Amino acid sequence: MSLAYRRAEDRDRPFILSSWSSSFADAHHAGPIPFPLYASIYRDQVLPWILARPGVDVWVAHDPDADQGADLYGWIAVERGVFLPVRERVREGGDVRWVERLKPTDQPLLLWIFVKQARRQLGIARGLFKAAEIDPTQPFLFALKGSSWSRLRHLAPHATWSPMTVRFSKEHL
């Protein structure tokens, strides 16, 4: 098996969208979206919106010797330049109220990571982290949880779940 890493290209998008939406479908955190609507909502609307966010970069693990289309083993989507939603208590006069703000962070945000089942346990996920310049032993954020993340959680002891981070558009800051 030959293995290399590269930035995702347009031709990789169907694989990324399909594998992301199908691997996230069983997650409790996918929400109450009915299964008949799930693919159209996630694959056709939510995931393209996430991937189009400024600062998002996707890397793929592939076999450089294989034919196109059969060469992909997995991928990782990461966003940099994210803003964390935080709630702060603010005192105005005699009143105290909660205010939601977005604060910048230098931590990368792992959007999702996927490795084909037949290629798991071969170090591909570690290679994808390295290609995306994320040291899993250091703090970083992750936006979504699913069964694939639970299998990788041991690699990233300082990762912080931050699902709200990806729900805010950077254009509205």
What are the structural domains, with CATH classification, of the chain?
A: 4-172 (3.40.630.30)
Cβ atoms of 142 and 110 closer than 8 Å: yes
Instruction: Give the angle subtended at the CA of 28 by the CAs of 153 and 33, to the nearest 5°.
Output: 140
Q: Residue 135: its pLDDT value, please?
A: 94
Q: Region 162-173: what's the mean pLDDT? A: 72
Residue 92 main-chain phi, psi, to 5 deg: -125, 110
Side chain identity at 104, as an amino acid letter?
A: P
Q: Region 57-69: what's the mean pLDDT? A: 86
Percent above pLDDT 70 for the chain: 90
Taking only the tens place, the pLDDT of each residue in 69-96 is: 668 999 999 999 988 888 888 888 888 8
Residue 55, both tokens: 């600062």
Non-local CB neighbours of 12 within 8 Å, separated by 6+ positions: 58, 60, 72, 75
pTM: 0.85
Taking only the tens place, the pLDDT of each residue in 28-52 is: 666 777 878 877 888 888 888 899 9
Residue 13, both tokens: 């998008």
